[in-house]
Amino acid sequence: MSVKVFVIVATFLGKSFGLPFDSNTSAIVRTELPDIHKPVTLGSTPYLPLLKFNDTVYYYGVILGGTAAQVELFCSYHNMQLVSIQTFEESQNLIAGLESFLQVTENMVFWTSGKKFGNSWRWESTGRPAHYTNWAKGEPNNSGGNETCIEVLFNSALKTLEWNDKNCEAVNYFICESRD
């Protein structure tokens, strides 16, 4: 059998049996991606445990922490934003969620979207000034001269959520909220 006839027969057999022969080389060519590289579709939307107060939805990030920039990325990836605590009522709602939903019994620290712009404090996620504040005693103190992000300390015994200016590179838990 000549080489040419062999290629034709091999190609014919390949097509007949559904094998992916390349007619130029007679080599088997992989045309399908292995399963591990195929896009996956879940049966439902990926789930985050959320709490709703009034018209705002919150996610308490207490599994993993990060710098202020890292946790902002987490929130925005899930189409949310770092929390802005705009009123006393919102602060009380967040405390209620920590107590009833998470049943937190130790003190925990969370990042908010609060940032220092010049000499004023604003919610970075909205750009609006922080009118309501609840600074801890002696704060903001700009310790070390580089504290430009607002973290909040949940005190489980006192049931308070007090603010502190902090170096944005510190690693904290965080709270995301739905966009306004």
112 binds Ca ion (CB under 5 A): no
165 binds Ca ion (CB under 5 A): yes
Instruction: Report the amino acid identity of residue 161.
Output: L
Residue from 107, 126, 133, 141 in contact with Ca ion (CB under 5 A): 141
For 62, other C-beta atoms within 10 Å of its C-beta total 14
Instruction: Report the amino acid identity of residue 177.
Output: E
Task: Say how many residues touch Ca ion, by CB under 5 A.
Answer: 8
Q: Which two tokens stand for residue 121?
A: 């404090």
93 binds Ca ion (CB under 5 A): no
The angle at the Cα of 107, spanning 170 to 90, to the nearest 5 degrees, equals 85
- Decide whether 34 or 138 has the Cβ nearer to Ca ion: 138
124 binds Ca ion (CB under 5 A): no
81 binds Ca ion (CB under 5 A): no
- Decide whether 21 or 176 has the Cβ nearer to Ca ion: 176
Among candidate residues 71, 55, 57, the one with its CA nearest the CA of residue 149: 71
> SS3 of 92, please?
helix
Cβ contact 60:97 at 8 Å: yes
Residue from 51, 58, 75, 84 in contact with Ca ion (CB under 5 A): 84
For residue 77, the minimal CB distance to Ca ion (Å) is 19
- Decide whether 72 or 147 has the Cβ nearer to Ca ion: 147
- The 8-class DSSP code of residue 136 comes to P
Q: Which stretch binds Ca ion (CB under 5 A): 60-68, 74-82, 129-137, 139-147?
A: 139-147
Instruction: Report the amino acid identity of residue 24.
Output: N
- Decide whether 124 or 139 has the Cβ nearer to Ca ion: 139
Task: Give the contact letters, 38-77, x = binds to Ca ion (CB under 5 A), - = no.
Answer: ----------------------------------------
Cβ contact 169:49 at 8 Å: no
Residues 6+ apart with CB under 8 A from 116: 122, 140, 147, 148, 149, 165
Write out the residues near Ca ion by the rule CB under 5 A: 84, 86, 139, 141, 143, 147, 164-165
